[in-house]
C-alpha cells in the first residue's frame, strides 16, 4: 500500500469495473451487450461458441459411450451370474465348474462377479451357503488373477457370516440359544 490510503492504489469503480475517470476521459468505454443480450465470442472458424458447449469433443463422446457400454455390460454380467448362482443350491461340481469358467471368461468384470457372489451368499439360506463357498474356493484356485485380491478383501466376512448363520440355525433346531450370543 504505497499511497498510505486504506485502498492503496485502487480507485473506486462503477458497476462495470471502470473508474469514472477512465469513462470520462474516453480511454475506456463501458461494456454493453448487443441487442439480444449475447456477446459474440470468437471461436474456431465456422463454429459458434454455443455449438462448442453443447457438443462434446469426439474423444469425450467416445469415452462417455465406452463408459455407458461398460456399465451396461456390467449389469448384464451381474444378472447372468446371479441367475446361474440361483441354480447352485446343492454341491454340484459341474455347476461350480461352469460358474468358475464364467468367472474366468469375464475376468475384466471380476469386481462385479465377486460382489454378486458376496450378495448372493448373504441372501440365501444356510443349506445353500456351503456350495457357494466351494465356488469361491474354485474361482480362487483355478482362475486366480484379480479374484484372489478381491475375494481376500471379503472372505473373512463371508466365512464369519456363514458360520454365524449355521450356528444359529442348528441352535434353533435343537431349541437351544447359542452360548456365544452373550459376547
Q: Roughly how many angstroms between the first and final C-alpha of the chain, as a whole number?
A: 69
pLDDT at 57: 56
Q: How many domains does the chain have?
A: 1
Domain contains 69: no
Domain contains 147: yes
CATH of the domain at 120: 1.25.40.90
* Structural domain range at position 79: 74-182
pLDDT at 7: 45
Phi/psi at 13 (5° precision): -115, 155
Domain contains 172: yes
Contact 183, 173 (CB under 8 A): no
pLDDT at 99: 96
pLDDT at 73: 87
The whole-angstrom distance between residue 42's C-alpha and the CA centroid of its chain comes to 38
pLDDT at 173: 53
Domain contains 42: no
Contact 136, 148 (CB under 8 A): no
Domain contains 166: yes
Kindly give the confidence (pLDDT) of every residue in the chain, 183 residues in length, as a single tens digit, with 9 standing for 90 and above.
444 444 444 445 555 555 555 555 555 555 555 565 555 545 455 544 444 444 555 677 777 778 888 889 889 999 999 999 999 999 999 999 999 999 999 999 999 999 999 999 999 998 889 999 999 999 999 998 899 999 999 999 998 888 887 776 654 554 445 444 444
Distance from C-alpha of 163 to C-alpha of 183, rounded to nearest angstrom: 15
Domain contains 162: yes
Domain contains 79: yes
Phi/psi at 143 (5° precision): -105, -45
C-alpha cell at 13: 469503480
Amino acid at each position: 500500500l504505497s499511497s498510505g490510503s486504506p485502498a492503496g492504489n485502487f480507485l473506486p469503480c462503477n458497476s462495470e469495473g471502470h473508474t469514472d475517470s477512465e469513462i470520462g476521459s474516453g480511454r475506456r468505454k463501458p461494456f454493453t451487450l448487443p441487442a439480444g443480450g449475447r456477446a459474440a465470442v470468437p471461436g474456431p472458424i465456422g463454429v459458434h461458441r454455443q455449438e462448442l458447449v453443447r457438443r462434446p469433443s469426439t474423444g469425450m463422446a467416445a469415452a462417455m459411450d465406452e463408459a455407458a457400454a461398460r456399465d451396461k455390460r456390467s449389469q448384464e454380467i451381474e444378472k447372468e451370474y446371479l441367475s446361474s448362482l440361483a441354480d447352485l443350491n446343492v454341491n454340484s461340481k459341474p455347476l461350480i465348474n461352469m460358474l468358475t469358467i464364467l468367472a474366468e471368461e469375464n475376468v475384466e468384470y471380476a469386481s462385479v462377479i465377486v460382489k454378486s457372489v458376496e450378495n448372493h451368499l448373504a441372501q440365501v439360506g444356510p443349506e445353500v451357503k456351503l456350495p457357494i463357498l466351494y465356488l469361491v474356493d474354485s474361482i480362487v484356485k483355478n482362475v486366480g488373477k484379480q479374484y484372489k485380491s478381491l475375494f481376500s478383501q471379503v472372505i473373512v466376512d463371508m466365512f464369519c457370516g456363514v458360520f454365524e448363520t449355521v450356528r444359529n440355525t442348528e441352535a434353533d433346531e435343537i431349541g437351544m440359544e447359542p452360548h456365544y450370543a452373550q459376547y
